[in-house]
Amino acid sequence: MGNPKFSQLAETLIGSEIVKLGGIIKEKIKQGEAIFNYTIGDFDSGQFPIPEALKQGIIDAYHQGYTNYPPADGEMDLRMAVAEFLKKRGGLDYSANEILISNGGRPLIYSIFRSIVDKGDKVIYPVPSWNNNHYTHFTEGQHIQIEALRENNFMPTAAQITPHIKGATLLALCSPLNPTGTVFSKEELAAICDLVIAENESRGEGEKKLYVMYDQIYWTLTFGETVHYNPVSLRPKMKDYTVFVDGISKAFAATGVRVGWSMGPVELLNKMKAINSHVGSWAPLAEQKATARFLSDEKQLNEYFIHFKNEVSYRLTHLYEGFMQLKQEGFSVDAIAPQAAIYLTVQIDLVGKKLPNGQTIINQQAVTDFILDEAKLALVPFGFFGADKENNWYRISVGCSKKEEIPDVINSLRNALKKLS
């Protein structure tokens, strides 16, 4: 192949498979096809606008001249508002100096990996999960992948983690989980915390700690009887070993507003702050000012959450019921009842089925193509989230879906499945 033209990282980093799939979908739409695009973990602002008070607050802040650099760790009024928000709604007690603001969750995740992981360090993470494989590659960490299973709602277990925990540097967890929309049970998360505490207490003075990155960006979006749990509330000792990823991106359908925060040990946050200051990944000052005001308005928060969660829940529930109806009709599909986030986990098991032209569907990529071409339904396979490429489970994202189109989605899928034998 000759000498590489760029860095080893650039030459070996895999681009986002979801973005690539998005390009294929855009091309189909450009050619006049009507596609139900349920791939992107984002929101259609027509269906899910950000809170009006937050939007107006951003506009007002720009008019008031908040257009310069913010502090590297974030505006004090925002950090104080986040601390209060977390205490009231999440039961977490963090002071302003234990909170770091950034422009969304991604720079925080990047700086967590960069602050903790050296080349060759063991990074434990479940698959499917969002982008942990890529961030581990960034840092040249050793990939320790835990294949999460259907019987545990695709959440990793303490039993699966135990054989790998000795000497590990980072355990990357997410709940509610992207891509599955499922959550940790209280018992399972507590068992994982006990593992981490015991491992850290067994290490010598000069040894690195084992940190848990706990991505809870979807924690405000739980439905029905689902309860969100976090390591620090379950085991207070975990405060020394846990760094959170959180923010407004999903809580307020504000993915493009770019305000996120981490809570964690001050010595770790200071390292993350230094990295982020060089990258320039602070949230815009006007957005910080507006978010601080909005988080402090209890009435506006409550009104928004009630409406927003009802809208998301309606879509998830009706799609789930549609898949269950198809399953009852004898088609090879399944789904997990909605728990949280904006995702529904569905199974489409068609490998080995015959197409109308007599050809056999030979692999999961062919299944994905068939569903897109025949049902006009675009979904993301778990293989795009680090799981085995032949895994037959998929993520449905409802952030860009319309309530009235859901019966058409199920009917279109039904008609496609009827063509197989």
Let me know whether 316 and 280 are in one domain: no
Let me know whether 196 and 282 are in one domain: yes
The closest of 189, 226, 146 to 388, measured between CA atoms, is 146
Residue by residue, pLDDT tens for the chain (421 residues) are 567 789 988 888 877 777 778 788 888 888 888 889 999 899 999 999 999 999 999 999 999 999 999 999 999 999 999 999 999 999 999 999 999 999 999 999 999 999 999 999 999 999 999 999 999 999 999 999 999 999 999 999 999 999 999 999 999 999 999 999 999 999 999 999 999 999 999 999 889 999 999 999 999 999 999 999 999 999 999 999 999 999 999 999 999 999 999 999 999 999 999 999 999 999 999 999 999 999 999 999 999 999 999 999 999 999 999 999 999 999 999 999 999 999 999 999 999 999 988 899 999 999 999 999 999 999 999 999 999 999 999 999 999 999 999 999 999 999 999 999 8
Please count the structural domains in the chain.
Answer: 2
Q: Per the structure block, which two tokens stand in for 402? A: 């319309």
In whole angstroms, what is the distance from residue 71 CA to residue 60 CA? 20
In whole angstroms, what is the distance from residue 73 CA to residue 277 CA? 9
Q: Per the structure block, which two tokens stand in for 159? A: 């039993």
Let me know whether 212 and 134 are in one domain: yes
At 301, which amino acid appears? L
Let me know whether 153 and 28 are in one domain: no
Q: Check if the beta carbon of residue 346 is closer than 8 Å to that of residue 396.
A: yes
pLDDT of residue 20: 79
Structural domain boundaries enclosing 333: 8-48+302-417
**285 within some domain:** yes
**2 within some domain:** no
Let me know whether 260 and 166 are in one domain: yes
**3 within some domain:** no
The closest of 420, 414, 418, 413 to 355, measured between CA atoms, is 420
State whether residue 227 is helix, strand or coil.
coil
pLDDT of residue 391: 96
**1 within some domain:** no
CATH of the domain at 356: 3.90.1150.10
**191 within some domain:** yes
In whole angstroms, what is the distance from residue 158 CA to residue 209 CA? 18
Let me know whether 27 and 104 are in one domain: no
- DSSP run (H or E) holding 142: strand 142-147
CATH of the domain at 269: 3.40.640.10
Domain boundary among 270, 297, 324: 297
Q: Check if the beta carbon of residue 385 is closer than 8 Å to that of residue 345.
A: no
pLDDT of residue 3: 72
Domain boundary among 243, 269, 297: 297
**348 within some domain:** yes
Let me know whether 152 and 187 are in one domain: yes
pLDDT of residue 69: 96
Let me know whether 166 and 291 are in one domain: yes
Let me know whether 93 and 195 are in one domain: yes
Q: In what order do the strands lie in the sheet with 393-397?
A: 333-335, 343-348, 393-397, 380-381
Let me know whether 111 and 184 are in one domain: yes
Let me know whether 266 and 394 are in one domain: no
